[in-house]
A and B are shown apart, each in its own frame.
Chain A
Amino acid sequence: MAPLLSVESSTKRFGGLIANRDVSLTIDAGEIVGLIGPNGAGKTTLFNCITGYMHPDAGRLVFDGADVTHARPERICRLGVARTWQVVRAFGRMTALENVICGALQRTSRVAEARARATELLEFTELRGRGDMPAATLTLADKKRLEIARALATRPKLLLLDEAMSGLTPFETAAAVRLVRRIHEELKVTICVVEHVMEVVMPLSHRVVVLDYGVKIADGPPQAVVRDESVIRAYLGERRAAR
């Protein structure tokens, strides 16, 4: 079976800096893939290329059989990719419910239908009772949940979570991990998480891809990746790796 998403030798440069160099990876339907790497490794750049906010200088992106290398974000969303943002991009002056309605309107033009779907998703993401609050007044943890609810409202096949758990308390992080599992199990959505907190990614992911300085240095099951020499070097430095 063809993978749901395949990134083929994607390269993205910003002037002299190569943010992604010849990165290839695939995501199969039904997987939870963790994308990790130190700060500046090019994880968000890769996300931006996959979701159409940037276009690779070389290489090819194929989602669900369609070439999306140069597609705009709104087309990629329509094809079934949704994302959240490292720095939250909730619609601050709209209520939480209205935020999710905007997402649901992607699959229906009837506001009443979108509202019903949005109400379900606020329930699913445990934001019931926050529906009438302006999004700007929510806590960070709730804003991140709201972004997930809004992304889910577009009925994605693939959900890309960009540091959905960073900046949260341990308690909130545990709740977020549970939510990701439920999205995967109950809504049958394929998920790719970017995270630099190893403790979160390892137990959650079926497979982990590691980027360092824009290059993919490892790709495999979490247990194998944590023992990988080059990964340890990237995270802990030369001296630790030698021991």
Chain B
Amino acid sequence: MGRIALVVGALIAIVYPIPLQLQGYTYYQTVGFLVLINAMLGVGWNVIGGWAGQFDFGPQVFFGVGAYTAALLYVKLGVDAWLGLLGGAAVAVVICAVLTYPLTRLRGHYFAIATVAIWMIAQPIGAAWEYIGGAQGLFIPMKPRSGVVDSALGLQFSGPTKAMGYYYAALVLFVITLALMAMVERSKLGYYFRAIRDDQEGAEGIGIDSRLYKVIARSITAAVFAAAGVLYAFWALSVFPEQVLELNWSTLPIMATVVGGIGRLWGPVLGAVILIPISQIMSTTLGTGPLAGRGIDLIVYGLIIIVIAAFRPTGLLSLPWGRWLRWRRAAPA
């Protein structure tokens, strides 16, 4: 059953932009791009928040670190996006490891507060540091690209196929992230992260260095956030502090993870597929016309999340889908 859902989902994800492209709609492809980027972030956040059980509300710092690193490499050294993406992820991992190690002495709410505090410190640094453009940020100039392959290799799409190009770029990064995290889940790391979540003292008693593995978990999350930040920077053609250090880069993926199913590999994916289109539909319907500018769209969006969270706190994936979908086959027995 899971296999069928996977194949159908993959086909839909691959074919999705084509009819839209033929009709000349680019808006829904951008919605798809946002779904994928948030699903990717959610899958990344699940490592520290879902498996290791440490509530991290400041991973958007590494979204910014990735975006800034790749933009600087591109602007100052002419390094292309994909190499910049590796560089951004590497820088994010190093910064995350250094910042997180002292934090691992803290537990529960205190850990969460400390992650937020680091984000609050990062904002003025981003706004005031001249080398990275200060409050104006950095602009990423387009290089002339000849053909699809050149565009894809440079992660720079323009013209009528821009939205489709970034959709597929996001799909590729999302699939790579999902595959890597599936490997992490089944490896020693996945077991150790969950052991620490369920009982830290118990985990230490069987030889697990809880501080080290918390740092590893958060650094994996940071790498995913950095990679997504690079993608976003090249899509937006710019990096500036309010945009890449925005709180929504953590709240949306975290909400997607919680709504879909925290600690489950596919939870954030389901959550993003449900939440992001709702938020876009809300803002294009309720956010325009006579009610525009009153935040009605955000209120309705918030209510929808509250209802789902109250109805199924362990996430929609934890519903007995298998039993519901298999009832016919089970009936004869």
Contacts and interface: CB of A to CB of B under 8 A. Distances in A.
Interface in B251-268: 263
A102 B203 CA distance: 8
A72 B204 contact: yes
A77 B209 CA distance: 10
A106 B202 contact: no
Among B192, B206, B210, max chain A CB count under 10 A is at B206
Nearest to A136: B198
Contact of B205 (A51, A92, A94, A105): A51
B206 A111 contact: no
Contacts of B191: 94, 98, 101-102, 105, 111
A144 interface: no
Contacts of A150: 206
B230 interface: no
Given A77-B207, A83-B205, A89-B201, A94 B188 contact: no
B194 interface: yes
A53 B201 CA distance: 8
Contacts of B187: 111
B206 A154 contact: yes
B199 A111 contact: no
Nearest to B201: A89
A102 B188 CA distance: 8
B123 to A, nearest CB: 35
B122 interface: no
B186 interface: yes
A103 B204 CA distance: 10
A13 interface: no
A94 B197 CA distance: 10
B194 A82 contact: no
A182 interface: no
Contact of A94 (B194, B204, B208): B194
> Which label, helix, strand, loop or mixed, suits the secondary structure of the B interface?
helix
A178 interface: no
Contacts of B263: 93
A150 B207 CA distance: 11
A122 to B, nearest CB: 15
Given A53-B201, A85-B202, A111-B187, A91 B207 contact: no
Contacts of A96: none
> Could you say which interface size class chain B belongs to?
20 to 34
B202 A111 contact: no
**Most chain A beta-carbon contacts within 10 A, residue among B187, B202, B208:** B202
B92 interface: no
Contacts of A102: 191-192, 195, 203, 206, 208
B209 to A, nearest CB: 5
A77 B207 CA distance: 5
Interface in B263-277: 263
A109 B195 CA distance: 15
A151 interface: yes
A72 B105 CA distance: 14
Nearest to A73: B204
A106 B199 contact: no
Kindly name the residue among A101, A105, A154 whose own CB sees the greatest number of chain B CB atoms within 10 A: A105
Contact of A91 (B186, B195, B204, B210): B195
Interface string B7-49: 0000000000000000000000000000000000000000000
A35 interface: no
Contacts of A103: 206-207
B186 A111 contact: yes
A187 B207 CA distance: 20
A109 B209 CA distance: 15
B257 to A, nearest CB: 16
Contacts of A111: 186-188, 191
Contacts of A89: 199, 201-202, 205
Interface of A: 51, 53, 72-74, 77-78, 82-83, 85, 89-94, 98, 101-103, 105-106, 109, 111, 114, 150-151, 153-154
24 contacts: A53-B201, A53-B204, A74-B204, A77-B205, A78-B207, A83-B205, A85-B201, A89-B201, A90-B202, A91-B194, A91-B195, A91-B198, A91-B202, A93-B197, A94-B191, A98-B191, A101-B191, A102-B192, A106-B206, A109-B188, A111-B188, A150-B206, A151-B206, A154-B206
Given A92-B199, A101-B191, A154-B206, 5 more contacts: A85-B201, A91-B199, A106-B208, A150-B206, A154-B207
